[in-house]
């Protein structure tokens, strides 16, 4: 067992986290999800149709991830999953600068959902495909999504290269930590 797994497990053992994975089509959501799992699976993925659910344990944390399709005809399904999510992973393709505005609109629409506005669930943004020359840096992605205007919930952006499993673990660790704090704030005190 590696150092990260031991550290991750010690702090979060017994924690259950339900996350919603969203982003435009071909941004790398499913590949990132596959890299999050303890047992890595094939890098060849097919586009998600509708959504798929995966449950796995990572470092003592049970993660239930809902991988939502990013295809335009399925994006309206995103809001059907917000009621139970405790964290959001939004993946942006850092090489697809022409669709940054569409990604921003979809993120804004999701965050405008009245059921999500009432709950300050944390948001992790992966600026994915950082291995590709010309990819936008995380700061450029942050500005394109206007993340700095999000004041009602914790958020963070991590550079990632899903194909080579770069940046995924630190991002997931941040999200689990943020979800744990969010859940602690929900518990009534005596």
Percent of the chain with pLDDT over 70: 76
Q: What is the pLDDT of residues 64-102, one digit of tens each?
A: 887 765 555 454 555 666 778 899 999 999 999 999 999
pTM of the model: 0.83
| Region for residue 166 given its phi and psi (left: phi exceeds 0; alpha: psi -120 to 50; beta: otherwise) | beta
Q: Which residue is associated with the tokens 């659910």?
A: 53
Domains defined for the chain, CATH in brackets: 3-183 (3.40.50.300)
| Region for residue 65 given its phi and psi (left: phi exceeds 0; alpha: psi -120 to 50; beta: otherwise) | beta
Residue 158: count other Cβ atoms within 10 Å of its Cβ: 21
């Amino acid at each position: 067992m590696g150092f990260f797994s031991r550290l991750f497990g010690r702090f979060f053992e017994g924690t259950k986290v339900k996350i919603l994975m969203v982003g435009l089509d071909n941004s790398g959501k499913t590949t990132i999800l596959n890299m999050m799992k303890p047992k890595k699976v094939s890098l060849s993925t097919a586009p998600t149709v509708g959504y798929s659910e995966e449950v796995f344990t990572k470092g003592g944390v049970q993660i239930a991830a809902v991988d939502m399709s990013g295809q335009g005809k399925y994006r309206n399904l995103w809001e059907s999953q917000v009621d139970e999510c405790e964290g959001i992973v939004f993946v942006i393709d850092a090489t697809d600068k022409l669709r940054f505005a569409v990604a921003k609109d979809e993120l804004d629409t999701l965050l405008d959902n009245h059921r999500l506005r009432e709950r300050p669930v944390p948001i992790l943004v992966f600026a994915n495909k950082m291995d590709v020359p010309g990819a936008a840096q995380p700061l450029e992605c942050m500005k394109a999504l206007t993340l700095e205007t999000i004041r009602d919930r914790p958020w963070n952006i991590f550079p990632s290269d899903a194909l080579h499993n770069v940046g995924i673990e630190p991002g997931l660790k941040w999200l689990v930590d943020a979800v744990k704090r969010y859940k602690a704030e929900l518990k009534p005190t005596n």
